[in-house]
A and B are shown apart, each in its own frame.
Chain A
Amino acid sequence: MTINWFKYASPASFYFLAGRMIPYFSIAAIIFLIVGLYIAFFSAPTDFQQGEAYRIIFIHVPAAWMSMFLYVVMAFWAGIGLAFNTRLSSMVASAIAPTGAMFTFLALWTGAWWGKPMWGTWWVWDARLTSELILFFLYIGFMSLQAAIDDPRRADKAGAIIALVGVVNIPIIYFSVQWWNTLHQGASVSLIQSPKMATAMLSGMLIMALAVWMYSIVMILIRARLIILERERHTAWVSELKEGVLE
């Protein structure tokens, strides 16, 4: 039996596939979220150095992971769309950007809330904070470039180039920021708070990471479906869908 892998590269079939996948990923996201939050608030022990305030780690670290991961995924799909001229890849890339930017902002925001009780300041020009901030700027740049271009195909391609240039730059920016920081002052701030993390803390964090991952997939699929409908509004299958012929 041969499987036609390219079947779902068509926006029309992907639209229905995404519609069928959304409930499963939503349920997974809710389950992981409940379990993760339970561990975070009740099961994980209080940190002996940081007290209760460390519990923000359960949203902060997964959000930071997702923010970086989603940028790479976005650039990957944008690059595929540019190279092979597949419309769906570019649509998915545009669908990823707002979620990625949201997680970047969330990581910065929760980081500030964590920093205030721990370090006594909302913000330090630490290497990680600065590179996360720059990542946020890159997301904003990608989205504003796409928003400024009226022709969707041109927007896809232009966005792909800026996303790929950003991916090349992320390691450079990351290391430059790190070296710049160490030139000025020693690492007074380290994100690794305790040498060994309690198992409950680690598992809570990983489950929360799965929860935000599932949440991102749901959000991206929903947004991709909307983008597909908007771009394909002149096609026959969308009008059939509107008239209730297709289910």
Chain B
Amino acid sequence: MIWWIIKRDLLLAMRRRSDVLTTLFFFVIVVSLFPLGVGPEASILRIMASGVVWVAALLASMLSLGRMFSSDYADGTLEQMLLSPVSLSALVMGKAISHWLVTGVPLVLMAPVLGIQYDLPVEALIVLTLSLLLGTPVLSLIGAIGAALTLGLRGGGVLVSILVLPLYIPVLIFGTGAVEASTAGMGFGAHFSILGAFLLVSIVFSPWATAASLRISMG
């Protein structure tokens, strides 16, 4: 069931490739703006790199949340999904995974290139990419709750940012913390363990909360 949803959503995303690319380019542009604003001093950029890349990833992931349910809601597919006998949580899980595959994975793949722009050493680049790999699925899972709650509301896009961004903060802290620990020569294993813990907790709770939110939003 999860597999079926993922396949379907990926197929839909491939038919509308520009949506995927828009999110990716948003990420690239936001990250590129900071050196223009702050100045091209390499020592400053190296300090900022992890924070800037992570914040841009947060924003990019959040901006694409609207697409997770809205098109299915608009054409009535979501209603049929709610009526179907299969578990809604499993369905939501599939949706979150496909959201991650469509928006999270491109960000993870692009991050090392952007890190080079910020003059990050190789080890920090690897840690940054791995931290995003662990952290972006959490963003998709938490974001699914916000997307489900704001479904079909006026100004849902801005509202979802107010709801979701405060909840993203722990992921941001430990994602950037891992990179800083590695550049400081300390171990970053603890940060990765905590990011992994976030991932596990959100895998357990988020589909359940999202399914409840969808039922509320669909009335």
Residues of A within 8 A of B (CB): 134, 137-138, 140-141, 144-145, 148-149, 151, 154, 157-158, 161-162, 164-166, 168-169, 172-173, 176-177, 179-180, 183
B153: CB under 8 A from chain A? Answer: yes
Quote the shortest CB–CB distance from B194 to chain A (angstroms): 8
Given contacts A162-B149, A169-B170, contact A154 B181 (CB under 8 A): no
A141 to B150, CA, bound (A): 11
For the residues of B in contact with A, the DSSP-based class is: helix
6 contacts between A and B (CB under 8 A): A137-B166, A140-B162, A145-B163, A148-B150, A158-B213, A158-B216
Given A145-B163, A172-B170, A173-B170, do A161 and B177 touch, yes or no (CB 8 Å)? Answer: no
Contact between A145 and B169, CB atoms less than 8 A apart = no
Count of B interface residues, CB-CB < 8 Å = 29
Counting CB contacts under 8 A, is B185 at the interface?
A: no
* Chain A residue contacts of B156, Cβ below 8 A: 148
* Besides the known contacts A148-B156, A161-B145, 19 further A-B residue pairs in the complex with CB atoms under 8 A apart: A134-B166, A134-B169, A140-B162, A141-B162, A144-B159, A144-B162, A148-B150, A158-B217, A161-B149, A161-B216, A162-B149, A162-B163, A169-B167, A172-B170, A172-B198, A173-B169, A173-B170, A180-B173, A183-B181
Is B3 located at the chain interface by the 8 A CB criterion? no
Which residue on B lies nearest to A131, using beta carbons?
B169
Tell whether, in the assembled complex, residue A148 and residue B216 are in contact, meaning their CB atoms are under 8 Å apart.
no
Contacts of B194 in A (CB 8 A): 176
Contact of B209 (CB < 8 Å), options: A145, A149, A165? A165
A177–B82 CA distance with the chains assembled, in angstroms: 38
CA distance A218 to B216 in the complex (A): 31
Instruction: Report if A145-B150 is in contact (Cβ < 8 Å); known contacts: A140-B162, A158-B213.
Output: yes
The reply to whether B177 and A180 contact each other, CB–CB distance below 8 Å, is yes
A141 in contact with B166 (CB, 8 Å): yes
Contact of A183 among B162, B180, B209, B217 (CB under 8 A): B180
6 pairs of A and B residues whose beta carbons are closest in the complex: A176-B170, A137-B166, A157-B216, A180-B173, A141-B163, A141-B162
Say if the beta carbon of B174 comes within 8 Å of chain A: yes
B162: chain A residues within 8 A (beta carbon): 137, 140-141, 144-145
- Please tell me if the beta carbons of B154 and A161 are within 8 angstroms of each other in the complex: no
User: Complex: how many Å from CA A164 to CA B210?
Assistant: 12
Q: How far is the CB of B207 from chain A (nearest CB, A)?
A: 13
Contact among B167, B170, B173 with A165 in the assembled complex (CB-CB below 8 Å): B167
